[in-house]
Structure 1
Amino acid sequence: MPRGPRHIIANVPVHIIHRGNNRQTIFHNAKDHAVYHKWLGEALAESKCTLHAFCLMPNHTHLLITPPSKHALAKCMKKLSQIYAMYYNREYHRCGVFWESRYKHKIIEDEQYLMTCYRYIELNPVRAGMVSNPSHYRWSSHRFNAHNQSHPFVKPHPIFRDIDTDLDERALWYRQTFGDFIGPNELEYIEIF
């Protein structure tokens, strides 16, 4: 039976999660992360999608993306998924299904959920016990969003950008409101995957 079409709205952000098959490790080392990161940038550029937040965990990825059209996200994710699976299979001499399924997604239609999603994505390594502070995890957007470190393709969502036009003040606000955890009500609200 064919898969149904995804419900995507142009210029509305989407939270995406993509897992390795059977939750297998998809990033073994810095090279794997760097390859995925590079191709993520290329897929975003080709599809004209905008990335606001990301976290590359050992067995899955989180992306917060705004597509410019209803087909742009599919184009971005198809390219990224295929090219990384090909790299991984070649690099680790394997074959077979790489991704658990098509990526899962949730449209973000309100400001509170958007800001919670930023935190949820960037706190993933803390919740997993990999680091004590999200700034210590190299493969996420936290340093860009919370500390104004430059990033080649992460751009603040307009709601986040409009918090303050002064980049340092906005980063300070983000750090002060970020918190060290996501509360149970927030988790219930955001964990649809």
Structure 2
Amino acid sequence: MRKRRWFPKAWYHITARGNRKAEIFYDDRDRFKYLELLREAKFSHPFHLHSFCLMSNHVHLLIETIDIPPGTFMKDLHSQYAIYFNKKYGFTGHLFQGPYKAQLQGDVNAILQVSRYIHLNPCRALLTFNPEDYKWSSYSHYLSPSPFYSDLITTSTILSYFKDIKQYEFFVQLENKVRPGHPSNG
């Protein structure tokens, strides 16, 4: 197995999918548990979480390391979540399809594109037409900060590349509006 490249302040688009593409979240309590474990991981192994989206069978995270490689906390996070999930539903075996994937992001443009991609994931999956309506994404926290996410999500870095929140919203929505099948495309 090839070792992942890592260095302090590196940005990664992390994805993890359910084994055989199976669901990894059956209900809201499962998603809350994942976020709770993610929050614990962030406090025990500090990193910045800039964007996330929890889909039914996979997750997207945009993280920036501080001084610990992502493997340190991702392995623990997914092991703890798999134990919770298997115990709750009476399953055994692997929950995730192999190790998580971590794509190193090389520049600001890539980081902004990944943040938009993560926030539009529910729209691409046709779960909603408006990303702000999807409850299990960090997007709504970008538009209107929520106390529930304030210690989990760092919005200031990405928003610093935009004049204001409305400009970031426009940046995300512009990509969404040109998607085939969107109601605004008539």
Q: What TM-score does the superposition give when structure 1 sets the normalisation length?
A: 0.85
How do 1:146-157 residues align onto structure 2 when only pairs under 5 Å count? 146-150=143-147, 151=149, 152-156=151-155
Give 5+ residue unaligned stretches, structure 2: 180-186
1:177 is aligned to 171
Residue number among 122, 125, 128 corresponding to 1:128 in the alignment: 125
1:17–1:104 Cα contact (<8 Å) kept: yes
How far does the alpha carbon of each residue in 1:78-115 deviate from its partner, in whole angstroms, 9 at most, with x for none? 11100000000001101011110100111111111111
User: Are the structure 2 counterparts of residues 60 and 117 from structure 1 closer, same or farther at C-alpha, using a change threshold of 3 Å?
Assistant: same
C-alpha separation in 1, matches of 2:10 and 2:32: 28
Q: Does 1:23 align with 2:17?
A: no
C-alpha separation in 2, matches of 1:147 and 1:173: 14
Aligned to 1:101, the other structure's residue is in SS state coil
1:52–1:154 Cα contact (<8 Å) kept: yes
**Count of aligned residue pairs for this structure pair:** 176
Q: Percent identity at matched positions? A: 30
1:110 is aligned to 107
Q: Which amino acid in 2 is paired with 1:123?
A: L
Q: Does 1:5 align with 2:3?
A: yes
C-alpha separation in 1, matches of 2:46 and 2:74: 12
How far does the alpha carbon of each residue in 1:29-81 deviate from its partner, in whole angstroms, 9 at most, with x for none? 10100000100110111110110000000000000001112x43111101110
C-alpha separation in 2, matches of 1:162 and 1:153: 18
2:75 is aligned to 78
2:31–2:54 Cα contact (<8 Å) kept: yes
2:41–2:77 Cα contact (<8 Å) kept: yes
C-alpha separation in 2, matches of 1:147 and 1:119: 16
2:50–2:153 Cα contact (<8 Å) kept: yes
C-alpha RMSD of matched pairs (Å): 1.8
C-alpha separation in 2, matches of 1:170 and 1:44: 27
User: Are the structure 2 counterparts of residues 28 and 180 from structure 1 closer, same or farther at C-alpha, using a change threshold of 3 Å?
Assistant: farther
2:120–2:172 Cα contact (<8 Å) kept: no
Q: Which amino acid in 1 is paired with 2:144?
A: H
C-alpha separation in 1, matches of 2:113 and 2:161: 15
Q: Which amino acid in 2 is paired with 1:144?
A: H
Aligned to 2:175, the other structure's residue is in SS state coil
C-alpha separation in 1, matches of 2:73 and 2:102: 13
Aligned to 2:164, the other structure's residue is in SS state helix
